[in-house]
Amino acid sequence: MNEQIAIVTQGLTKQYKNITAVNSLDLTIPKGTIYGFLGPNGAGKTTTIRMLLGLVAPSRGTLSVLGYDVEKHRDKIAQKIGAIVETPAFYNYLSGEENLRVLAYSSNLSLTSKEINVLIDRVGLIGRGKDKVKNYSLGMKQRLGIAATLLSNPEVLFLDEPTNGLDPAGTVEMRNLISELGAENRTIFLSSHLLNEVEQICSDVVIIKQGEKKLEGKISNLLAHTKGFSIKTSSVTQALSILQQYPKLQPQLDNDGWLSVKAQANDIPSVISTLVYANIGIYQVIERRNTLEELFLELTGQPKQGLSHN
């Protein structure tokens, strides 16, 4: 067993009658990363997470969490992981604080009131711990859900679309909280159908579609590839006709008077001096990189289908 690996699946498959929800999925998730599990609705994210939690039996394949076979040692894993798969259920007539106390008690965890209050503050429910849960917004319930998963200080957190249904402010708060939790050397396996969410919070990503892995890697590596540069000049038409003398640059007019060129960073100084030599003023030069969305579309050749910026 590799000490540095949090989650491994091999050939993981879930077949429902005529639907293959998850198809021969191989995952290796290193410890201490915020790993994005990205895919459109119906891609098989929840099914995979349910299998990793031991809630659904795989049809084929093997899977282990923290070195333990999920099917054989679910009890050993349970103490070390936390998960939010659906909106967590709480007692509405109890306060947030009381709910956490009940949960801690029923899970045999001895936490002091002070420790519970620290958790409440931690997830951004400062001053609201004594309010009844029935008066909480969805975002507050989600945050209480995170507090509940943190009761046992888990090494691995599974979060299945944790910002679903939240308003924009709630979404931002939840993303910040997840980033903070990930900075604590925890492994976070975060499923999402939102590309920009994954781009913002995760260090690594695996993209699945129709149950199959399409792409994976460090987001910084995936996005490091330069597509070209956009240049804002004092005269876009003049700049265009000058750069058209260099077909390799494939100069093009963009929106708002920008000119784009297909160039690498070391081509840019001579592009600029050529323009300056022709008395064209340069206002801005911006590097354009692949977005995860473009990579995904390139890879699958499919239209967006629910994978969208939001």
* Contacted by 251, from Mg ion, ligand ADP, none: CB < 5 to 8 Å by type: none
The answer to the question of residue 86 lying near ligand ADP (CB under 6 A) is no
Minimum distance, C-beta of residue 56 to Mg ion, in the bound complex (Å): 12
* Contacted by 42, from Mg ion, ligand ADP, none: CB < 5 to 8 Å by type: ligand ADP
H or E element, residue 164: none
Minimum distance, C-beta of residue 109 to Mg ion, in the bound complex (Å): 28
141 DSSP 8-state letter: H
Angle formed by the axes of helices 138-150 and 113-122, nearest 10°: 130
Minimum distance, C-beta of residue 146 to ligand ADP, in the bound complex (Å): 19
* Contacted by 195, from ligand ADP, Mg ion, none: CB < 5 to 8 Å by type: none
H or E element, residue 222: helix 219-222
Q: Which of residues 13-52 bind ligand ADP (CB under 6 A)?
A: 16, 19, 21, 39, 41-47
Q: What are phi and psi of 260, to 5 degrees?
A: -110, 145
Distances (CA, A) of 42 to 22, 51, 76, 210, 285: 10, 15, 30, 7, 40
Site string for Mg ion, 37-66 (x = CB under 5 A): --------xx--------------------
**Closest residue by Cα to residue 100 from 128, 129, 124, 135:** 129
Both tokens of 44, joined, read 């098989």
Nearer to Mg ion, 39 or 129 (CB): 39
32 DSSP 8-state letter: T
Determine the size of the site formed for ligand ADP (CB under 6 A).
Answer: 11
Both tokens of 263, joined, read 């160039």
Sites of contact with ligand ADP (CB under 6 A)? 16, 19, 21, 39, 41-47
Sites of contact with Mg ion (CB under 5 A)? 45-46
